[in-house]
Amino acid sequence: MPPPSLSDMTTAAAAADGPTFTPVSAVRLGGVDPLGLRQINFDLMDRVFPALNNVARHVRPFVVVAWACRRAAQLAANQGTDRIAQSDLIDFVNRIEVIYAWSQFLRNPDADLPGRQFLGRLLRADRWVFGGSEWNKLCAQRRDSTAFTAAITYGPSLKTLGWVLPHPGYPCVLLATDKAAPALDAFEAVIADRLEHPAFSRFGLVEVTSAEAREWSDAWALETATDAEKRVMANMLAGAGAPVSPRNGCELMIAASRYKSSRDAGQVRAAMTGAPSKFAPDEGLRGSLNAWRRVQVRQLFRLSLEALLYWIFQETERGAKPTETLVKSFLNQAGPRSLLSSAREWLNVASVKNTAPTELMARIEKAFNEIGLGSLVPPIIDGMAFCLAESRSENTDYERSDRLPLARARKEAEARIDTCAADFVRHVIESWVLAQHAYWSIGLLMRDRRENDPPIEGDPGGRRMDARAWRFAITAGAHSRPPANGAHAS
């Protein structure tokens, strides 16, 4: 049974004549942002590598989406009808995305693509029908989460880098750009053997077997992008016509790699962060280096607090505990700091001030893999102390206060700097972790309930496109450039 919508909940509340017990909640797989801290990280990252993130890091998914958009446009033009349903075009792109992901997970269950858990039902199926209520439900569920075009995966960078652009008259429909064409041509040559299959050659309901998906998997494998695909991506990221921020970010990364004489991601990432590394890029890249350091500091702060939430879950696994008990346990596991009396002494950053934020993150990640929780608390404290000392007094008005920007965290820490360490730890646990988690859990729950409301009458998803608009799409539209400041999925 689907969860109730917001309107269902409102109706039930209005009809109730008193309090009542809710059904027992089923524990399900959680999300990736339990404290609501991720968006500030994204905003900071956009100052170095706009629209890119740790999910959108492979060339082939960009090509798959852009090719599907181009193929859909070609099929629409070949139909010769006066009206084309937007839903057909969007559905075709969704279908190609899912078939691609399905084939890659069949080939390698650990393929680095979004949606492995979500598409689990396909991995267990002998065949899948792309069409009908079950398929439409799957598309709706993955639209804002694991779809390649989602805002948290490849969606923003597909547009910002110039792989696709919205149709000028029908923004829900995406068009492949001319500068992507060499990559799409090379990709199409790779998959030429399946282009006559209904899944690749027509709109509407089609069926694909798991045997077919597995058979197709090697030719378009995630890690086998052609030279043409790589050249197009390199040009979009760092070429003369690339946006300034990603171009400078790439130059910074290349300079750091040369400085370290290494392509190891950890070494390059640490060097790009600046001190304590002696890496000193050209003056024109100093802004990118400073922006990259802010990204890493903020990421360390987020990881520290999410690690603390994990620690709390583990501490309460056998039953609820009052805050005071958690504070005492945390201080007992804090190592040398546990003996210090005031928050000022406890937050002393002397022992880690000459450490790279990337190294402090590595220490937390290492502690996750060690037996017992005792080794996790000291790196959490080091991470928080480092970030509070590193935070700047610069203007952070763009950072929403409810996402706990470092400026707010430092202000709250300074207000308690002369209290005992237990008071500060209590505030961190209650306000920065548990209250943040409750606030964003409820907020996301209410968003999910709103999304379960029936569609508003006149929803543009059902509109049909004028054939003249499609002639524009196939000719002039696809030659247009994305907006100068990049187009982000909302």
Whether the CB-CB separation of 130 and 199 falls below 8 Å is answered with yes
**Counting beta carbons within 10 angstroms of the beta carbon of residue 490, is it exposed (0 to 12), middle (13 to 18) or buried (19 or more)?**
exposed
Which pLDDT belongs to residue 424?
A: 96
Which pLDDT belongs to residue 228?
A: 98
Which pLDDT belongs to residue 486?
A: 32
CA distance 26 to 89: 37
CA 28 centroid distance within chain: 20
CA distance 266 to 43: 22
> Closest by alpha carbon to 67, among 105, 89, 96, 99?
96
Strands 127-130 vs 206-209: parallel, antiparallel or unpaired: antiparallel
| 3-class state of residue 108 by DSSP | coil
CA distance 149 to 47: 21
CA 170 centroid distance within chain: 26
CA 335 centroid distance within chain: 35
Whether the CB-CB separation of 246 and 49 falls below 8 Å is answered with yes
CA distance 65 to 155: 10
Which pLDDT belongs to residue 31?
A: 66
Which pLDDT belongs to residue 394?
A: 55
Which pLDDT belongs to residue 447?
A: 58
Whether the CB-CB separation of 243 and 50 falls below 8 Å is answered with yes
CA distance 25 to 422: 33
CA distance 322 to 375: 22
Which pLDDT belongs to residue 466?
A: 47
> Closest by alpha carbon to 344, among 389, 380, 309?
389
Q: What are the residue boundaries of the structural domains of the chain, listed by start?
A: 38-50+243-441, 59-235
Which pLDDT belongs to residue 378?
A: 93
Which pLDDT belongs to residue 341?
A: 82
Which pLDDT belongs to residue 116?
A: 86
pLDDT digits (tens), the chain, 490 positions: 556 676 777 888 888 888 887 777 666 656 678 899 988 888 888 888 887 777 888 999 999 999 999 999 999 988 876 677 889 999 999 999 999 999 999 999 999 999 888 888 888 899 999 999 999 999 998 998 899 999 889 998 999 899 999 998 888 899 999 999 999 999 999 999 999 999 999 999 999 999 999 999 999 999 999 999 999 999 999 998 888 988 999 999 999 999 999 999 999 999 999 999 999 999 999 999 999 999 999 999 999 999 999 999 999 988 889 999 999 999 999 988 877 888 999 899 888 989 999 999 999 999 988 866 678 999 999 999 999 999 865 556 667 888 999 999 999 999 999 999 999 999 999 999 999 999 888 776 665 555 544 443 333 334 444 444 443 333 333 333 333 333 322 2
> CB count, 10 Å around CB of 161?
27
Strand partners, 176: 164
CA 87 vs CA 62, 83, 139, 170, 176: distances in Å: 21, 12, 11, 11, 17
